Amino acid sequence: MKKENQRIYFCDELRGFAAFIVMIAHYTIGFNALHGFLYNPEGNENIYPSWFLDLLPIDGAFGVAIFFLISGFVIPLSLSKRSPLKFLYARIFRIYPVYIVSALITLLITLFFNLYDDSFGKLILTYLKSITLFRDWIGGVAIDGVVWTLEIEVKFYLYVGLMFFALKKYPRIFLCVPLIVTIISLLIFNLDIGYPLSGLSLNTLLYNFGYLTFMNIGVIVYFHHVQKLSSLNASLWIILSVLVSLLFLYERYNGNIFVLELYILAFVIFITFYKYGIGFRGLFSGFFAKISFPLYAVHSSLGFILLSLFTYKFNINIFISLFLVMTIVIYISWLIHKYIELPSLEKSSRIK
């Protein structure tokens, strides 16, 4: 069997694991910091006991890094039998229906709990801009906290489509462009590449290419997998891409070393699974892998609101609340997977 046609099970495992980790991190460390949100009191006391938080030395950045690496690895696979336009068309069906529905749930619960400060019209405009997944280019605030990563994913798809010929025939050129843009931008321009972004600018382009450099690590591993790069060449490209990515992330997160450590950890785990467990199927390869995208897309605002409601309004123990919220969100994610994602995937698979 050709390597291009092999089922890459370790990506399923890591995808399901990453979605679960992001949810847990947001509902524990993230929620613990949301003082004054909805029913949350303004005080600085931890809602979770310190011993429990000490057991969670990780946050959502780890899961996001895993997602980016997986995308870099699997997207060239999905492009192998399609033209650039058909690839982009298939990606539209893969991404947009699920996110449009997930963001709509966020919009509805925001309206129900009266959590918006602006007018109803501005909230609708926020929703419409967000579901384009080009909100970072057209300006405006995000409807939820997860959209920024999906915006990066869409820019990666666009880059892959535009650089299709290079990806096929000249992989080194494909890898070079984000590297060069990121290096030049960091060295020449004194840009503030923090989040949120406020429209298309040099800052926004650097932000996109900086993350594309990290995602290209997955592409390099793919090239090695299909024997377009030798082990030595792949290693050199990976080292260069990791170093430039870390430089970008250092600037992006204002010198927060912990975030860099999480990205390095994600990289090490990804490479370890690729080298030693490419066919590995564990706890997260099945159900959680299937619902990973709906779970990621819908969990944020919905989970925060339910946690605040159960914990502070209904005075339910925080751990019971956590269990209830995770159960509800996972169930809703499964419904989105069954009734929205699966039909979308079927349409996407028909585009040859």
Identity of the amino acid at 282:
G
> How far apart are the C-alpha atoms of 319 and 198, rounded to whole Å?
38
- Structure tokens that stand for 232 in this block: 């030595």
Is the previous residue joined to 343 through a cis bond, with omega within 30 degrees of 0?
no
23, burial (CB in 10 Å: exposed 0-12, middle 13-18, buried 19+) = buried
> How far apart are the C-alpha atoms of 186 and 193, rounded to whole Å?
10
Place of tokens 């605002």: 301
259 within 8 A of 61, measured Cβ to Cβ: yes
Number of residues that make up the chain: 352
- Boundaries of domain holding 215: 3-349
126 within 8 A of 141, measured Cβ to Cβ: yes
Model pTM above 0.85? yes
How many domains are contained in the chain? 1
- The Cβ of residue 347 has, within 10 Å, a number of other Cβ atoms equal to 15
Strand positions, DSSP E, the chain = none
* pLDDT, one tens digit for every residue, the chain (352 residues): 344 444 578 899 999 999 999 999 999 999 988 888 999 988 767 888 888 888 776 788 999 999 999 999 998 877 767 788 888 888 999 999 999 999 999 999 999 998 888 788 999 999 999 999 999 899 888 999 899 999 999 999 999 999 988 888 899 999 999 999 999 888 887 666 666 666 787 788 888 999 999 999 999 999 999 889 999 999 999 999 999 999 999 988 888 999 999 999 999 999 999 998 877 777 888 899 999 999 999 999 999 999 999 999 999 999 999 999 999 999 999 999 999 999 998 888 887 7
